[in-house]
Amino acid sequence: MTLVLDPDLDRPFDLKSEHIRQFERDGFIHLKSVLPPDLLADYGREITSLTIALNTQTKPLEERTTYDRAFLQVMNLWEQSERVKSFVLGKTLGRIAAELMGVRGVRLYHDQSLYKEPGGGITPAHADQYYWPLSTDRTVTAWIPLQDVPTEMGPLSFYAGSQHEAFGRDLGISDESEAAITAMMESRGFPFVQSPFDLGDVSFHLGWTFHKAGPNVSVQPRSVMTVIYMDVDMVLKKPTNDIQKGDWAQWCPNARIGEIIQTPKNPVIFERVA
């Protein structure tokens, strides 16, 4: 059965050359009005409902680790719902990801729903690619709020230009990463960029760009969908830590080291026509 994509998820976005230059310089970009707010609110109901239903966290906030207080998370929702699948495989965001990275196309690494409960804690400073057995830095995460995200709800925030910084690349999300990376970023003078998101805004950041999010001190949950894109020609590298071994088994099973990752779990989302 052929998946029918929502036309509102397949419309080109007017990505300008200055957007691409900004992304190359800063390692991230916050784009305004990328997707229609009513469309996001509609898909958001399905994504949020599935996240709540499928997450396995049962401890109250006060009994969780720092990482687990940051959000409830469920991955690869695209495999759980045809409706979410049409959202994740939409070409609007995939096309932006390819153009920002300067590659001919992108495929899915995995998706991840992030639901920061009222009272949820910080998301400690980190770089995503610590977790991924991927051979190049041509990876980008789209952070897609499913409602407005004012400062008090903990919008994703970035250290501009930090994608070239080697320090901290061996640290997973933890209290240690928050303290060490924040101190290093401040000492090196990387600008910390935090701004609220309107519904319809989407940010994109490279796998090695350091980022974090504040706590949700509001009385409303912060529901966000993320889609992780990789170069359509991305090659699997030999894992350098146990988490990367787990990611290999979970997100690109049967892919071979030294070869392009093209498993059924990693469909092509956007590819330029020659």
CA dist., res. 123 & res. 216, Å (int): 10
Whether 10 is in a domain gets the answer no
Give the CATH number of the domain where residue 38 resides. 2.60.120.620
How large a percentage of the chain has pLDDT more than 90? Answer: 91
In a domain, 199, yes or no: yes
DSSP 8-state code for residue 134 = B
Query: What does pLDDT average to over the chain?
Result: 95
Work out the angle at residue 85's Cα, subtended by the Cα atoms of residues 143 and 116, and round it to the nearest 5 degrees: 35
CA–CA separation, 91 and 114 (whole Å): 21
User: pTM to 2 decimals?
Assistant: 0.95
Q: What is the pLDDT of residue 1?
A: 46
4 assigned to some structural domain: no
For 159, counting Cβ atoms within 10 Å of its Cβ (0-12 exposed, 13-18 middle, 19+ buried), the class is buried
Residue at 274 is within a domain? no
Domain count for the chain: 1
The CB-side HSE value for 248 (13 A sphere, CA atoms) comes to 21
For residue 216, the tally of other CB atoms under 10 A from its CB is 23
Q: Is 5 a member of any domain?
A: no
Q: What is the pLDDT of residues 8-65, one digit of tens each?
A: 899 999 999 999 999 999 999 999 999 999 999 999 999 999 999 999 888 888 888 8
Query: What whole-number distance in Å separates Cα of residue 51 and Cα of residue 53?
Result: 5
Is 189 within the bounds of a domain?
Answer: yes
* Nearest to 156, CA basis, from 120, 110, 195: 195
The residue range of the domain holding 118 is 15-268
254 is a domain residue? yes
Decide if 108 is inside a domain. yes
* pLDDT (0 to 100) of residue 2: 58
User: What is the per-residue pLDDT across 106-129, written as a single tens digit (0 to 9) for each?
Assistant: 999 999 999 999 999 999 999 999
Encoded tokens for 123: 């998301």
